[in-house]
Amino acid sequence: MAGESAYYLCVNRNKRGMTVNLKTDEGREIICDLARQSGVLMENFRPGTLARFSLDFESVSAFNPNLIYCSIIGFGQTGPMRDQPGYDFMIQAMGGIMSVTSEPDGEPMKVGVAVADLFAGQKAVIAILAALQARTMTGKGQHLDISFFDSQLGWLANVASNFLISGNLPKRYGNAHANIVPYQSFAAPDG
């Protein structure tokens, strides 16, 4: 399509959008009307933002107790960094994945796609599916708290285990592996 970016189309496929001013009574009522008739609500404001507009989980679940309310933010709803913004590149660095991504003598590198964003989204889908199942048994919704940072930490898997067991800082191995051999690129006769 002329005038449309591939990135925009990728992240907005199958979505319908609208603009709502939460600072107006009319805007808040539009969101409340949508929440009354919805099974799942997803948001990514910093903690406390939607409470100022009476659109937080407690407020919305008062009139729709079946609602599954999913918050996806940088550092989660609780903890010392809850009010800090978070975006993928920063989360990859803080979460440690960049410390193991690159050639051994190279600079730390981010993964080529927004893995912290994507993995948090996948965790949100899994949590929503579990909450939907729970709702069929209990009739109640719930608040799901998904953190980009927490989600990205899961990517460290054996790297984190190696550090916790040995105390040795992880290294960059390029296409090689810290624990498994052979597990790297090899020159082959066909190029």
Question: Whats the size of the chain, residue-wise?
Answer: 191
* 122-162 residue pLDDT tens: 999 999 999 999 999 999 999 999 999 999 998 898 889 99
Residues annotated as catalytic (active site), given as ranges: 117
SS3 per-residue string spanning the chain: CCCCCHHHHHHHCCCCCCCCCCCCHHHHHHHHHHHHCCCEEEECCCCCCHHHHCCCHHHHHHHCCCCEEEEEECCCCCCCCCCCCCCHHHHHHHCCHHHHCCCCCCCCCCCCCCHHHHHHHHHHHHHHHHHHHHHHHHCCCEEEEEEHHHHHHHHHHHHHHHHHHHCCCCCCCCCCCCCCCCCCCCCCCCC
Span 21-166 CATH architecture: 3-Layer(aba) Sandwich (3.40)
Residue 141 near residue 64, CB atoms below 8 Å: yes
Q: pLDDT tens digits for 39-49? A: 999 999 999 99
Contact (CB, 8 A) for 111 and 92: yes
pLDDT of residue 2 exceeding 80: no
> Beta strand pairing status for 68-73 and 40-43?
parallel
What digits encode the pLDDT tens for the residues 54-112?
999 999 999 999 999 999 999 999 999 999 999 999 999 999 999 899 888 989 999 99
pLDDT number for residue 1: 59
Alpha carbon distance 129, 135 (integer Å): 10
Spatial separation of the C-alpha atoms in residues 156 and 27, rounded to whole Å: 42
What pLDDT is attached to residue 176? Answer: 87
